[in-house]
A and B are shown apart, each in its own frame.
Chain A
């Protein structure tokens, strides 16, 4: 069997006395869409932050494309092709949609210690921005300032930004958070297309979306992996049902 694209072993992160992720191990194979689900406070966002390097792990290892990245800072991981979207939309609010994406393209085009030419007139960056925007269906909003975009458009822009870094693996933290039914359906459709090009780790509360999209699902409860299997098997998993799927109230949209 081929080496997994992302391999996580025994990852631990503590906040004071709370263990947010407790010896999490996880493999993500190249080309799959791997969903991570779990009740609120299960440590999903912590795990994503550990994977991208925003949080350093207390123990455990992360390897990506065969390289140990456990101690690499966030910007180096991003360069290796690990992109993330944020649960709470985290764009550059006073920049236009196109500028947001162009910035991501710029990040992956060598260093930015260029002090003279007008970056907004660089054809390469503009083209990259346009193509990523059209990929998510936002090309008509290119020159709109982010703070004036609708919530759904901002979520799509998050994806465009992640795409523009030409990632091998995208870590999506609740891309449907706060979306209405139509917008959610659109997002699912978009993810269906994107998964053909790039490996995706998806953290999501919207169970319909997760079961429609995922190849495999990892269930996280209190920082621990209690199951990891194909969607059909997860549905039948006793512990998962008890801990999670059985409870009606936990299937909420937002942490």
Chain B
């Protein structure tokens, strides 16, 4: 990452600075809404970044990524409901549950390729959705209200908006740093090689499915963290978090930002959610504009926002 002064570097730097300073602005101006909105954006950006790891770098088009948002959220919600409020228990459980789910469905799904893979991941996420809908004890269809946010002792207070915002931001930056290290490591080279030419990778001696599966599990685990954050943000978790349109939203965020670019998903998420927010201020029928806009973006702006900022994406 050479800090050459191109458009991308400037934009990313501005976005990072903006995100870091946002609470200062909202506190001074008393604009609470801005802080809540951006907390949500940051959490989704983390989820999108994790999807980008498998989709953009690994070439695995998962259409069921929202499942981990739900699983992470339900891990927090169910434990809270059962009286276990400590975040030191809730969060590791959320991560472990997401990892386990990713391990199981990854092992099965990775037998398939192409569109079949898109569809089977979708099917597994829908299964998770229906399981959650059937959890009568935990609200079923209506979802589960979380009365108390995860408790981290005196370490951090999640009910404090600013503290929670910075926690989410920390998770996002931490997640992106982790992904950056991973994609440039030996493991990451293999995963990117697989996207480029799987047959070749096999021929030079890589057991391809093992690498794909590990990558799939890492991405699922990171998204599980986003799920735990999301549940704390809304004080609520419901099957709707896992519905297939939510997986579609995540895909849109990644593609909009630019696949296989480190900060692309962050830019994509900001653009998508801000646009949604702005359009819904302007008209009740925001999707009437958003929909064709997506179509136009696909038709005329390939490579997403990252692509528009010039320079072919790195291999």
Chain A residues within CB distance 8 Å of chain B = 52, 54, 73-76, 78-79, 83-84, 86, 90-96, 99, 102-104, 106-108, 112-120, 122, 145, 161, 165
Contacts and interface: CB of A to CB of B under 8 A. Distances in A.
B189 A107 contact: no
Contacts of B201: 92, 103, 107
Nearest to A79: B205
Place the interface of chain B in its size category: 20 to 34
A118 B206 contact: no
A93 B187 contact: no
Closest 7 CB pairs of A and B: A78-B205, A107-B205, A92-B196, A94-B315, A114-B186, A112-B186, A119-B186
A92 B193 contact: yes
Contact of A75 (B185, B189, B192, B205): B205
B214 interface: yes
A108 B205 CA distance: 7
A177 B197 CA distance: 20
B202 A112 contact: no
Q: Looking at B181, B190, B208, which has the most chain A CB atoms within 10 Å of its CB? A: B190
B187 to A, nearest CB: 5
Given A92-B193, A112-B189, A119-B186, A107 B315 contact: no
Nearest to A94: B315
Given A75-B208, A90-B197, A119-B185, A103 B190 contact: yes
B114 interface: no
B315 A113 contact: no
B185 A103 contact: no
B204 A83 contact: yes
B214 to A, nearest CB: 7
A112 B202 CA distance: 13
A73 B189 contact: no
Q: Looking at B184, B186, B188, B196, which has the most chain A CB atoms within 10 Å of its CB? A: B186
B197 A78 contact: no
Contacts of A102: 189
Contacts of B187: 112-115
Contacts of A161: 200, 204
Contacts of A92: 193, 196-197, 200-201, 315
B265 to A, nearest CB: 19
Contacts of A83: 203-204
A112 B203 contact: no
A54 B202 contact: yes
B260 to A, nearest CB: 9
Contacts of A115: 181-182, 185, 187-188
